[in-house]
Structure 1
Amino acid sequence: MTGNIGIGFEVRGAAGIITLDRPKALNAITHHMVLAMRAQLDAWIADHAVQHVVLRSAHERAFCVGGDVRHMAELGSTGRKEQARAFWRDEYALNHLISRYPKPYVSLVDGLCFGGGFGVSGHGSYRVAGDKLGFAMPEVAIGLFPDVGGTYVLPRLPGWAGTFLAMTGARIGMPDAVALGLYTHHIPTERWPDLLEALAAGDEMDALLDRFAVVPPPPALASLYPMIDRVFAGGTVPAVVAALEHAEKGEGVEAEFARLQLSTIRRASPTSVFIAFEQMRRGLSHDLAGCLKLEFRVVTRLLDGHDFFEGVRAVLIHKDQAPKWQPSRLEDIDPAAIAALFDTPLPDELVLPE
């Protein structure tokens, strides 16, 4: 296997294999990894020996817990904002390339898959979920938002599940992730070596995945999806909060679920919660490239703000879990200011190929 720190590349028969391998950081994606992956994917397009691409993790615990936001916060807070923006510009371009990749592209995802981990896997033609998958877009907890194309993917999930995932950052397991369509197949992790061998032998990917796939267990949230649809269909953030407050006054599983979502939303950055809701409102009107362009506008402006740096400090650096958000309450957010984050063009917009 050839590669650089954190990522490796190998051609095994007909398969081009990308392996995420940064175990101490749970495969958090660095700018270096983004650029290396982009260069290799570009090279494999012209390599006739490579019939399909496989993305995997070298470790069981995590597929990838997202982009290296800790480093991005360090850059942004020490006068190197343009370096941080360059990471997101290149990451989003990689996400877009994966969505249009001319060869079959499959991600084998087990363990934790958050944020940027979904960015490099979720836009591919095939997405295989392992037994212990834990999926989340938890960015609102650190003053960020569900980017890497979350604006495109999440509103297209069944019902209002995407809005629920975006506003709360909730983690779901493999059965729910497959049921919602975030993954195309469930293949037990113990079968992956056989799957890789068949891909290397040149077996056609679509038929092969269907042959290996099994039916997942029932989704854990199955009984709650009707309630999620009622609550998160609210036309504004205050309407969603009010619906949760009403639901928590009841009894049983639904009341307990509503209580948990309310406490989660109230701990998150109020600005981020409003951004996430706005993403869900706008996403259906744009293709993936348009959504990534909007996300680049928003992330650029968050680098001029407070909450992203404070969220990284509280959750990832000092780990006191006590961020001081500005503004500190959902009630203090101006929806017009949130809309401006999306609507105001940048002097150097993200440009992606048609």
Structure 2
Amino acid sequence: MYLALTGSRIRHGDALWSGLATHTIKAEDQAAFLDRLCATGDPESVLRGFFVPARRETDRPVLEAIARHFAQPSFSDIIASLDRGAPSDEFAAKTLATIRTRSPTSLHVAWRQISAGLTLSMDECMKMEFRILNRMLAGHDFYEGIRTAIIDKGSTPRWRPAGLDDVSVADVDAYFAPLGERELDL
């Protein structure tokens, strides 16, 4: 949830530690890894041969802060937790400041998407992603984000709606509604 709401990135050690990745290999070994994989057809053996242990890059206090703030039962509870912590907690203050620069609509959609995805099949997740993608491309904030990041660098985005509390449940529901005849067929 933290990555989805902040746009933060993780490196290979954190990906391995968190379970997003199962193995790490050196970048310079990638070609040899693929050659051996093609030659043997035995991914487990090849992975064992190229595996390089990785330490997590994020330190324990930050991981604990992420767990504390982002394990809340709703998006508004996450914001409230960060807001309560911000006066005395540098992580909470910086994270809240980052979140407040993001599209309010996208934040609400991302929270629901991650939450809903926990109980969906892969096909259902792909259909949900396709619906959201179609609605994002038809909306304002996606292009506003591109404008302020690439075209008018440094300008402040004008999100619609502008505030976290201005996004209605109906606004978010619309991103998840079926697409009719344009629905993804798997």
Counterparts of 2:125 and 2:20 in 1: how far apart (Å)?
17
- SS in structure 2 of the partner of residue 229 of structure 1: helix
Distance 1:193 1:343, change over 3 A: closer
Number of the residue aligned with 2:143: 309
Measured at CA, do residues 307 and 195 of structure 1 come closer, stay the same or move farther in structure 2, by a change above 3 Å?
Answer: same
Matches for 1:226-245 after TM superposition, within 5 Å: 226-245=64-83
Query: 1: distance between equivalents of 2:182 and 2:26?
Result: 45
- Specify which structure has the bigger relative contact order, considering alpha-carbon pairs within 8 angstroms and separated by 6 or more residues: 2
> Following the alignment from structure 1 to structure 2, what is the Cα–Cα distance between the partners of residues 259 and 194?
45
Q: Deviation of residue 344 (structure 1)?
A: 4.1
Q: Which residue of 1 aligns with 2:30?
A: 192
Letter in 2 for 1:296: F
TM-score, L = length of structure 2:
0.90
Aligned counterparts of 1:296 and 1:195: Cα–Cα separation in 2: 33
Taking the aligned partners of 2:139 and 2:29, their CA distance within structure 1 comes to 46
Mean CA deviation greater in 269-278 or 173-182: 173-182
Calculate the TM-score normalised by the size of structure 1: 0.49
One of 48, 54, 67 as aligned partner of 1:210: 48
Out of 63, 70, 74, the residue aligned to residue 225 of structure 1 is 63
What amino acid is aligned across from residue 232 of structure 1 in structure 2? F
Deviation at 1:267, TM superposition (A): 0.4
Partner residue of 1:172 out of 1, 6, 10:
10
CA drift at 1:345 = 4.2
The whole-number CA distance in structure 1 between the counterparts of 2:125 and 2:75 is 20
Quick one: percent identity of the two aligned structures? 37
Q: Is the 8 A contact 1:278 1:339 kept in 2?
A: no
Structure 2: how far apart are the matches of 1:190 and 1:306? 41
More helix by percentage: 2
Residue 336 (structure 1) aligns with: 170
1:186–1:216 Cα contact (<8 Å) kept: yes
1:281/1:218 Cα in 2 relative to 1: closer, same or farther (>3 Å)?
closer
| Structure 1 residues 231 and 211: alpha-carbon distance in aligned structure 2, compared to 1, 3 A threshold | same
Q: How does 1:280-319 map to 2 (within 5 A)?
A: 280-319=114-153
CA RMSD across the alignment: 1.8
3-state SS, counterpart of residue 180 of structure 2: coil
The aligned length equals 186
Deviation at 1:193, TM superposition (A): 3.8
For the Cα contact (< 8 Å) 1:179–1:219, is it kept in 2? Answer: no
Find out whether 1:261 has 2:95 as its counterpart.
yes
Kept after mapping to 2: 8 A contact 1:176/1:221: no
The superposition leaves residues 295-337 of structure 1 with CA deviations (integer Å, 9 ceiling, x where unpaired) of 2212222233211111111112232342111111111111232
* Distance in 1 of aligned mates of 2:4 and 2:137: 20
User: Quick one: structure 1 residues 211 and 341, their matched pair in 2 at CA, closer, same or farther if it must change by over 3 Å?
Assistant: same
Q: Tell me, in whole angstroms, the C-alpha distance in 2 between the residues paired with 1:293 and 1:305.
A: 18
Q: 1:247 to 1:212 in 2, by over 3 A?
A: same
Specify the code of the residue in structure 1 equivalent to 2:9. R
Hey, what's the Cα distance between the residues in 1 that align with 2:34 and 2:137? 41
* Higher percent of residues as strand: 1
Paired with 1:335 and 1:239, the residues of 2 have a C-alpha distance of: 16
CA distance in 2, matches of 1:302, 1:197: 40
Amino acid at match of 2:66: I
2:65, 2:91 within 8 Å by CA — same for their partners in 1?
A: no
How much does 1:203 deviate? 5.2
